[in-house]
């Protein structure tokens, strides 16, 4: 089968490889769609942790075409989404229920061969049944939606709140929709790319702001003189993280959801944190949120079918990454 194999910084090759036999608790998934995200780009650039050699791809879904002898919870032919994050179940964090903070966390597509391939071997415990209703490309969004759901849980949006999302990539667009689901009355997207602003304005954004064209603070304080009740940073830049602190009202939580480069820093005025009584929260991956992500997509509470996507075969993975880096599509998806 064809697979996108990462072997070390800046080294990603499409290779033909044989599949090993299944262990008793594993299934073989015929991959229908696998999304590419910023984490994949960071891994290939060597700026995000991984365990090469490894087949990339952690946002994927497909159909079960073989099962190990001990698998009873899923059947041949079933369509499934894959939660890529595998917690050990034994460390101090796992025993406190904080599986996403597991000291020995391993992930399919990061440490173990993932879904940018025609087939993928997956432990049955990582599978979630999808049914037949959603298009394959929509199924590839279950994992990013599950991460966004954890972010929304941690942001504590109350009904009627004004929420600002910084960054209008797939995650920012999903966050906007989830903020509405959580009860936000007024939502603002801050995003420099016109197409992404237009997409948000056509879905649920009350207002979109171009940071290259306007002073974001002035624009936001026009509508929200005190600042926003909740600010969620989804761009992953120190400058936008700093902006998030400025846009929050006194007492308003600020969430750093976007992934800033390791080692990057921002100037922080402790007095501002003190005087505004800010709460800065992080959000990391997707503990126990996969079922809710599937429900939100299946029930149309989160709608991704209108997102501009670009499809590529496994052999087109370099092109897919280039489309992502150059902002030529909202989402690159490998369709083996």
Q: How far apart are CA 151 and CA 136, in angstroms?
A: 24
Q: Which residues bind Zn ion (CB under 5 A)?
A: 37, 39, 87-88, 91, 94, 102
Q: How far is the CB of 28 from Zn ion (least distance, A)?
A: 23
Residue closer to Zn ion, measured from CB, 67 or 146: 146
Q: Which of 208, 211, 209, 156 is nearest to 178 (CA)?
A: 156
Backbone phi, psi, residue 130, to 5° = -115, -20
| Positive/negative CA dihedral, 58, 47, 289, 241 | negative
Confirm if 314 and 321 have CB atoms less than 8 A apart.
no
Q: How far is the CB of 285 from Zn ion (least distance, A)?
A: 9
- Cis check: omega of the bond before 53, within 30 degrees of 0: yes
Residue closer to Zn ion, measured from CB, 102 or 245: 102
Residue closer to Zn ion, measured from CB, 22 or 122: 122
Q: How far is the CB of 303 from Zn ion (least distance, A)?
A: 19
Cβ atoms within 10 Å, residue 226: 12
Confirm if 116 and 65 have CB atoms less than 8 A apart.
no
Q: How far is the CB of 88 from Zn ion (least distance, A)?
A: 3
Q: How far is the CB of 91 from Zn ion (least distance, A)?
A: 3
Residue closer to Zn ion, measured from CB, 37 or 293: 37
Q: How far apart are CA 107 and CA 181, in angstroms?
A: 29
Q: How far apart are CA 73 and CA 126, in angstroms?
A: 11
Q: How far is the CB of 75 from Zn ion (least distance, A)?
A: 28
Residue closer to Zn ion, measured from CB, 98 or 158: 98
Tokens of 160: 């009627």
Q: How far is the CB of 40 from Zn ion (least distance, A)?
A: 7
Residue closer to Zn ion, measured from CB, 236 or 336: 236
DSSP characters over 53-100: SEE---EEEEEEEEE-TT--SS-TT-EEEE--EE--S-STTGGGT-GG
Q: How far apart are CA 332 and CA 329, in angstroms?
A: 7
Q: How far apart are CA 252 and CA 220, in angstroms?
A: 15
Residue closer to Zn ion, measured from CB, 112 or 224: 112
């Amino acid at each position: 089968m064809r697979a996108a194999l990462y072997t070390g910084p800046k080294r990603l090759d499409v290779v033909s490889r044989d599949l090993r036999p299944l262990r008793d608790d594993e299934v073989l998934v015929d991959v229908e769609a696998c999304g590419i995200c910023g984490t994949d780009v960071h891994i290939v650039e060597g700026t995000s942790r991984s365990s090469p050699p490894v087949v990339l791809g952690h946002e994927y879904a497909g159909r079960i075409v073989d099962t190990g002898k001990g698998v009873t919870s899923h059947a041949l032919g079933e369509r499934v989404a894959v939660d890529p994050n595998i917690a050990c179940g034994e460390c101090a964090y796992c025993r406190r229920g904080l599986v996403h903070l597991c000291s020995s966390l391993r992930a399919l597509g990061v440490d173990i061969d993932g879904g940018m391939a025609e087939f993928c071997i997956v432990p049955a415990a990582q599978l979630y049944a999808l049914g037949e209703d959603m298009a394959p490309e929509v199924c590839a969004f279950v994992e990013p939606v599950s991460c966004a759901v954890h972010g929304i849980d941690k942001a504590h949006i109350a009904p009627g709140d004004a929420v600002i999302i910084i960054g209008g990539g797939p995650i920012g667009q999903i966050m906007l929709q989830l903020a509405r689901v959580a009860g936000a009355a007024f939502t603002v997207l801050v995003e420099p790319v016109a197409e992404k602003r237009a997409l948000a304005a056509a879905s649920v954004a009350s207002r979109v702001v171009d940071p290259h064209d306007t002073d974001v603070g002035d624009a936001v304080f026009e509508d929200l003189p005190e600042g926003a009740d909740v600010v969620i940073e989804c761009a992953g830049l120190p400058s936008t993280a700093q902006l998030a602190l400025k846009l929050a009202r006194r007492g308003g939580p600020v969430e750093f959801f976007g992934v800033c480069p390791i080692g990057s820093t921002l100037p922080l005025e402790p007095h501002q944190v003190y005087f505004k009584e800010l709460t800065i929260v992080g959000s990391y991956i997707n503990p126990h949120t996969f079922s809710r992500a599937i429900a939100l997509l299946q029930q149309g509470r989160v709608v991704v079918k209108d997102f501009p996507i670009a499809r590529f075969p496994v052999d087109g993975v370099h092109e897919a990454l280039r489309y992502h880096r150059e902002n030529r599509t909202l989402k690159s998806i490998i369709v083996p």
